[in-house]
Structures are given as structure tokens and as C-alpha cells.
Amino acid sequence: MKISAEKSALWALAVVSVPVILVIVIYTAVDIYMQLNSGDIDIRSGSAYGVTIGSTMAESYHDLLVQYPNGEIYVTGGFAQGVTEEFEFHQPNAFRLLTKFENWELNFSNDRADYLELTFEDNLLIKIERVWRPFSFP
């Protein structure tokens, strides 16, 4: 049985199109899932997560020690400055290390999918941002 050139071309188009359509559908499903299961809260007044806007770095650090006494967070220092230093929040010299940065990123899990970012200006807390994702990409 001979296959015509038209049928052959249609078959080739189907073989190429189906994987492309599947990739688009999977990408769209993952994107929708991430949108529905992610969050970002930006706070510029009041209190949240144990810290208060207008607090000094020292006050914020102390407040976080009280709020998270079991060491369930670790620190990744100033991404905004292009410098990163990772260390445990409860280690003895953590505050001294943190004062080098105006942005503190406090991670609640090792995959960086759940973190709290504190932004300081002139030693005062001006922004609290909480970000969470169901998972993180490398």
C-alpha cells in the first residue's frame, strides 16, 4: 500500500505538532499551578512575622530571635548588593554579619521557596516582604 505525499506530509506534521502542543499544555499547567499556589506579601507599615516597620536592625534581630527561637530559619545576606553570605540565623556572630547588609533574606526552608526579606534604610526597617512558592527552580 502506497502512501501519498499529502498523507505523508500530514503524518510528519502530526508527529512534530503533538509534542510541541504537549509541551505548551504542560508549561501552561505548571504556570497556572505556580500562580495559584504562590504568594508575595509586601508590608511597609505596622508589624508582621515578629518585626515592626521603623525598628532598628538590633531590635529586628532580637524580635526575630524571640519569634523563631528554635532556629528554623537561616540567612542569605544582601542579594541587592550582589553579595551573598549564607549562615544560620542563631549562630553567635550572626548579627555582626547581618549589619553588613541592608537587605536580609531569611529562609524558612533550604530550597529558598519560602523566605522573608527585610529591607533597612539608615538602620531602620522600611519593608517586610514574605514570598513563598510550592517549589523553587535551580
What does the pLDDT look like over 41-75, one tens digit per residue? Answer: 889 999 998 999 999 999 999 999 998 887 667 77
CA 87 to chain centre: 17
Q: Are residues 83 and 25 in the same domain?
A: no
Q: Are residues 69 and 55 in the same domain?
A: yes
The reply to whether 109 falls in a domain is: yes
The reply to whether 138 falls in a domain is: no
Q: Are residues 17 and 77 in the same domain?
A: no
Cβ contacts of 133 within 8 Å, gap of 6 or more: 34, 37, 38, 113, 114
Structural domain containing residue 22? 1-37
Stated pTM of the model: 0.67
**pLDDT score of 34 more than 60:** no
In Å, what is the CA distance from 31 to each residue of 20, 27, 35, 133? 17, 6, 6, 12
Q: How far apart are CA 58 and CA 66, in angstroms?
A: 13
